[in-house]
A and B are shown apart, each in its own frame.
Chain A
Amino acid sequence: MTSWTTASTSRRSFLKISVTAGGALLLGGGLSACGGGDGEAESDSGAKIGASLDEIASLAKQEGHVQLIAYPETWANYKGHFKEFTAKYGVKIEVANPDGSSAQELQAVKTLKGQKTQPDVLDIGYSFTKPAIQGGLLEKYKPSNFDTVPDALKDPEGWWVGAYYGVLTIGVNPKAVDNIPQTFADLLKPEYKGKVMMPGDPRQGASSNATVVAAALSRGGGPGNIGAGIDYFAELKKSGNLVTATSVASALTTGEAAIAFDWNYNFVGIAGELAKSKVKLEQVVPSDGVFGVYYAQPLTVASPQPNAGRLWIDWLTSDEGSEQYALGGAVPARIAEVKDKLSKEALDTLPDPAVLEKVVFPTIEQGEADAKLLVEQWGPKVLNQ
């Protein structure tokens, strides 16, 4: 999710490709043989799968643990999820490479397929669901609350569900500005010179990517039509308001920037770190660009703990899982249905319900088109103008 890569990772990636080149061929045949669907009693690996949630839970307990990848504890309150899940079901959580990126997650499934350390469940950016399905890396599973997950946040056939989403938000250090900006248009004003940062590059980071789409919304564009957002950032860069920085927390505490774009729940995640530097952030959802993006939590193909993996997805989409997400500021997919069941603390951490009603989600095709245009235009129009 957050991505931090070094030369050694990229070198390792070449090896992974080499090791898995053969595996990919084997898989293509395997997939067509086993259809997914409801109530299947066997996983793609032939392991026994519980017919009901209770049966899945008891088989999961025998399996002992669920293997996850790229689930940071500070992200969307996963720390709380881990604790409550283990307390309820007696199934331990193992997380590999917690700060890995979505691309690394797919690489890991390819590389580790068939081994004990293969991750059971992923947490990938929505644009990675298509390559994951095409690469034969996933197995269908519809958790018990599948029907009440909004259509925009699930694959109709059950290849994946998106259990939570984030709303693109502007975090402001109120001490460092005279007026709190409310819109994308505000941020172009001269008073914000050298104060606005976007974490990383929109060709690499999901939240910076969403920032450009949200900016496009403010100018009549939107998902699938990101061009206006690229033009907006070209202007923001030209005005001298945009500064280069990679870490939101460090930029806001050192004073490198006073205003940052990110998911609302990431601002919740860094609140403690900011408090140490006496920065109390104010969060504003720009009223001219209300945009949300979800992460998908698919089951991997023939996963080593098939019941524990299914149980984890059930948990994430359950009422209790929704509460844990909300406590971390991540909006649970079933918010419309569970909002009366959430604690007051959880509700207070989420964005305003009126804002949530306006959130626009991208489709996968729109995401692809936007990424393509960004790759073509971001360099020449914004970076090297």
Chain B
Amino acid sequence: MSGAGVAQRLRRLPLSWVGAVPYLAVVGLFLVLPVAVNIWSSFHANGELSVQNLIDATKGQYRNAFLETIYLSAITAVLGGILGMVVAWALAGRVAGPRMFKTLANAFTTVSSQAGGVPLAFAFVATLGAEGLITKLIFDVTGFQLTDHFRLATFWGLVLVYLYFQVPLMAILMVPAFQGLRVEWQEAALALGATRWHFLRQIAIPIMSPAVVGSLLLLFANSFAAYATAYALAGSSVNLVAIQIGFFLSGNVLFDESFAAALVTWMMVVICVCLGLRALLLRRATRWLR
């Protein structure tokens, strides 16, 4: 590094710090402080310093809740990821079709990727619930009672509803990656004697994999922390960590902030492990770049 470069950087430093102040203030107030208070609270039980809550939070029902939440998040991330890739591939211009259709699909994807909460749950209840439009239509036409075989207030019901936002979210995240994959590269590879498989394996996958890994992780986190949709749809019939936390913070029966905080701490641990994994995978995936 040249001396002039360092000098220039030093001169720029104060101003760039001023620019970062609002950002740092927001992060400090809304991320660092709550996380710190939560961790502090989770190391208490009955008002005294203790790790009992953190230990109890890994046992019985709560262990079960963590496993089920991780399972639900992983399944919706992988299924949503695969389906979303297909959609992104179609939207990125690999398939011929009317322009109008593509614009519409694009708009829908953008909107539905942000759908969630109670409205989404209600939409599904109104279509596929016990008295839903589609449920009734199927019954009237074929005499087949859908709710005998499939109920929304179950694990797989939640998977279906989560896919409604997971698929478009994956699609939106992956469209730029697909667009970055130039047709010329494929042509060049083919001209040099590569098969389609070679192109996929040695060019397309290495280029796309950082984006895929990053997006899958985002999908995982997205459903890991989802609360309102699951709560409105399934109440407590699916054992999720976020719902268990709700029992302790906003119920009419139990009240234990420290225990809720202990559950939150473990949720943060899970997300941190995921971020660590992502960093590792990204390092491997981008090795060819260095």
Choose among B61, B118, B225, B246 the residue that contacts A380 (Cβ–Cβ < 8 A): B61
Minimum C-beta distance from B239 to chain A (A): 6
Residues of A within 8 A of B130 (CB): 256
Minimum C-beta distance from B257 to chain A (A): 6
Question: For residues 198 through 244 of chain A, which have their beta carbon under 8 Å from a beta carbon of chain B?
Answer: 200-206, 209, 244
Query: Who on chain B is nearest to A128 by CB?
Result: B255
Interface flag for A9 (CB, 8 Å): yes
Query: Who on chain B is nearest to A1 by CB?
Result: B252
Contact B131 A127 (CB under 8 A): no
Query: Who on chain B is nearest to A106 by CB?
Result: B255
Residues of B within 8 A of A125 (CB): 252-253
Residues of A within 8 A of B64 (CB): 379-380, 384
Contact B236 A206 (CB under 8 A): no
Contact A375 B254 (CB under 8 A): yes
> Which of A203, A254, A256 has the most chain B CB atoms closer than 10 A to its own CB?
A203
Contact A255 B228 (CB under 8 A): no
Interface flag for B3 (CB, 8 Å): no
Residues of B within 8 A of A254 (CB): 131
Query: Who on chain B is nearest to A206 by CB?
Result: B252
Interface flag for A32 (CB, 8 Å): no
Residues of A within 8 A of B61 (CB): 375-376, 379-380
Choose among B40, B231, B239 the residue that contacts A383 (Cβ–Cβ < 8 A): B239
Choose among A7, A131, A209 the residue that contacts B226 (Cβ–Cβ < 8 A): A7
Given known A-B contacts A5-B231, A244-B153, A255-B131, A10 and B60 have beta carbons under 8 A apart? no
> Which of A1, A106, A384 has the most chain B CB atoms closer than 10 A to its own CB?
A384
Query: Who on chain B is nearest to A208 by CB?
Result: B253
Contact A18 B251 (CB under 8 A): no
Contact B37 A7 (CB under 8 A): no
Residues of A within 8 A of B255 (CB): 102-103, 106, 127-128, 131
Residues of B within 8 A of A6 (CB): 117-118, 227-228, 231
Using an 8 Å CB-CB cutoff, how does the interface string of A1-32 with B read, 1 for contact, 0 for none? 10101110110011101100100000000000
Bound-state CA distance A85–B267 (Å) is 47
Interface flag for B277 (CB, 8 Å): no
> Which of A7, A106, A380 has the most chain B CB atoms closer than 10 A to its own CB?
A7
Contact B252 A15 (CB under 8 A): no
Contact A244 B237 (CB under 8 A): yes
Interface flag for B223 (CB, 8 Å): no
Contact A21 B226 (CB under 8 A): no
Residues of A within 8 A of B226 (CB): 7
- How many residues belonging to B are interface residues under a CB distance threshold of 8 Å? 42
Interface flag for A117 (CB, 8 Å): no
Choose among A131, A205, A380 the residue that contacts B251 (Cβ–Cβ < 8 A): A205
Contact B236 A10 (CB under 8 A): no
Minimum C-beta distance from A85 to chain B (A): 25
Given known A-B contacts A6-B227, A244-B237, A383-B237, A204 and B131 have beta carbons under 8 A apart? no
Choose among B37, B232, B239 the residue that contacts A14 (Cβ–Cβ < 8 A): B37
Residues of B within 8 A of A379 (CB): 61, 64, 239
Contact A256 B239 (CB under 8 A): no
Contact A102 B249 (CB under 8 A): no
Question: For residues 16 through 52 of chain B, which have their beta carbon under 8 Å from a beta carbon of chain A?
Answer: 30, 33-34, 37-38, 40-41, 47
Contact A21 B37 (CB under 8 A): yes
Using an 8 Å CB-CB cutoff, how does the interface string of A173-217 with B read, 1 for contact, 0 for none? 000000000000000000000000000111111100100000000
Choose among A14, A103, A244, A374 the residue that contacts B250 (Cβ–Cβ < 8 A): A103
Bound-state CA distance A109–B40 (Å) is 21
Residues of A within 8 A of B247 (CB): 201, 203-204, 375
Interface flag for B235 (CB, 8 Å): yes
Minimum C-beta distance from A200 to chain B (A): 6
Minimum C-beta distance from A61 to chain B (A): 33
Bound-state CA distance A254–B126 (Å) is 12
Bound-state CA distance A341–B227 (Å) is 49
> Which of B64, B232, B250 has the most chain A CB atoms closer than 10 A to its own CB?
B250
Interface flag for A246 (CB, 8 Å): yes
Choose among A5, A205, A384 the residue that contacts B239 (Cβ–Cβ < 8 A): A384
Interface flag for A58 (CB, 8 Å): no
Residues of B within 8 A of A134 (CB): 47
> Which of B38, B228, B257 has the most chain A CB atoms closer than 10 A to its own CB?
B257
Bound-state CA distance A170–B268 (Å) is 42
Interface flag for A349 (CB, 8 Å): no
Interface flag for A104 (CB, 8 Å): yes
Interface flag for B245 (CB, 8 Å): yes
Residues of A within 8 A of B246 (CB): 5, 10, 204
Contact B253 A209 (CB under 8 A): yes
Contact A7 B252 (CB under 8 A): no
Apart from A18-B33, A18-B34, A103-B248, what 11 extra A-B contacts exist at CB < 8 Å?
A6-B227, A7-B225, A18-B37, A103-B254, A128-B252, A204-B247, A206-B253, A246-B235, A371-B253, A380-B60, A383-B236
A-B contact pairs, 24 of them (CB 8 A): A3-B251, A3-B252, A5-B228, A6-B228, A6-B231, A10-B245, A10-B249, A13-B249, A15-B34, A103-B249, A103-B254, A127-B253, A201-B235, A201-B236, A203-B236, A203-B253, A204-B251, A209-B252, A246-B232, A371-B253, A375-B61, A380-B60, A380-B64, A384-B239
